Amino acid sequence: MARTLITGGLVITAAEETPADVLVEDGKVVALARHGSQNWTAEQVFDASGRYVVPGGVDAHTHMEMPFGGTRASDTFATGTRAAAWGGTTTIVDFAVQTRGSSLRAGLDDWHAKADGNCAVDYAFHMIVSDVSEPVLRELPGLVGEGVTSFKLFMAYPGVFYSDDGQILRAMQRAADVGALTMVHAENGPAIDVLVEQALAKGETDPRHHGEVRRALLEAEATHRAIQLARVAGAPLYVVHVSAREALAELAAARDLGLPVFGETCPQYLFLSTDNLAEPGFEGAKYVCSTPLRPKEHQAALWRGLRTDDLQVVSTDHCPFCFKGQKELGLGDFSKIPNGLPGVEHRMDLLHQAVVEGRISRRRWIELACTAPARMFGLHPRKGTVAPGSDADLVIYDPHAVQTLSAATHHMNVDYSAYEGRTVTGRVETVLSRGEVLLDRGDYLGRPGHGAFLPRSACQYL
Ligand code: URP
Ligand code: ZN
Ligand code: ZN
């Protein structure tokens, strides 16, 4: 029996903060006890005095190796999950993609083939449904049976991932029938495409116009429509990457009515803004993602939504493209810049910075980054908490260490950092995944293939 002991730390979960020693046996947490109160022995002992012991992060929105805009996200499952581990994230939920004209089965098999044997941390899949038809919807129960219990539909990107309202309604009905959670990318894609065409015709080709044409009102309108469609379908709804305060207001209103509607935001919407999209030259391309970054004023509304639980989860939407050769595909035409930002490595630290700045409490930090995503996507209590019986996915976190985020030091396979030069207080010191040490004081000990596929149960908020 392999035993590991973490002594002297402050154990923080979504529910409580307890000074406790943590005993790990065969990859599971087996007991917590008051500091020094037990005569536990172990082959491996970590002294976490003056540090936090928190659950490994659960990033419920990543896109490793995703094809987009004629290129492919630059992190593989090997590089992206390694970077996740460096940042204290020990579970990712990535989006398998259905290619138009193919089955969900083919898309899911493709994603298993990319991930299998390559991941440093545990992983699960959502499924992007980009071709809603009767035969495709008949595949849903099979996927749910295999632990893929959430499906993403796009109201944006006509001709690529887009589904019309009828397709969305049908998919929501069937997802509800099989106990799955429908996720929606809520932006009015056809209307945005008109504005893109008009902007380009006027010679407005710079990255900042990406943010201008993808209007907040078109995010809010699509969010409202998705909520009404979900109501008609009798389906629960999870709105991904919420960035506009007007869209958040739609979610809050729905939740006030008691509807099973949930929302996620991402660090880029909390810490970055249209000021970044307007950086000189072509620099703004580094910040092109959809939904887009918004003017700074939206950030206060998002922080408030996180405090009031109108937003329940912070994920990264990690979808990196190198500046050289990938973002540059959109030189002279912002609509050709591949959409997405790198971030899987920095979510735990950026949210801890919010604790330092007094925006959220320590427990809310853990709830947003670990516990709520695990519950939302059927992984709790195996993941997302520190409790007897849970996987020993544990992070020893130094809340006082100061670090500067930079492409020169990050581990994501991308040639820039969206947070270049930003100093944050707090740093991951040691990371365990199912009791195995992946990282210890700057030494990376993880390996591709340690990470295992996690079949998920249904959303645990329903
Ligand atoms: O810009 C983004 N978000 N890229 C990834 C695809 C998506 O819509 O989540
Ligand atoms: Zn999306
Ligand atoms: Zn995404």
The predicted-structure confidence for 174-225, as pLDDT tens digits, reads as follows 999 999 999 999 999 999 999 999 999 999 999 999 999 999 999 999 999 9
Which residues make Cβ contacts (< 8 Å) with residue 177, sequence separation at least 6? none
Ligand 1 centroid, distance to 289 Cα (angstroms): 6
Residue ranges with CB less than 5 Å from ion ligand 3 = 317
The reported pLDDT for the residue numbered 1 is: 62
- Residue 292's closest CA among 300, 283, 284? 284
Ligand 1 atom, smallest distance to 157 CA:
8
d(CA 22, CA 45): 10
- Residue 113's closest CA among 84, 149, 76, 148? 76
| Sign of the alpha-carbon dihedral angle for 342, 203, 162, 107 | negative
3 pLDDT tier (thresholds 50, 70, 90):
very high
394 pLDDT tier (thresholds 50, 70, 90):
very high
The predicted-structure confidence for 437-453, as pLDDT tens digits, reads as follows 999 999 999 999 999 99
d(CA 375, CA 380): 5
Ligand 2 centroid, distance to 291 Cα (angstroms): 7
The reported pLDDT for the residue numbered 164 is: 98
The answer to whether the CB of 264 is under 6 A from ligand 1 is no
The answer to whether the CB of 214 is under 6 A from ligand 1 is no
What is the pTM for the complete model shown?
Answer: 0.98
Ligand 2 centroid, distance to 24 Cα (angstroms): 38
The predicted-structure confidence for 263-315, as pLDDT tens digits, reads as follows 999 999 999 999 999 999 999 999 999 999 999 999 999 999 999 999 999 99
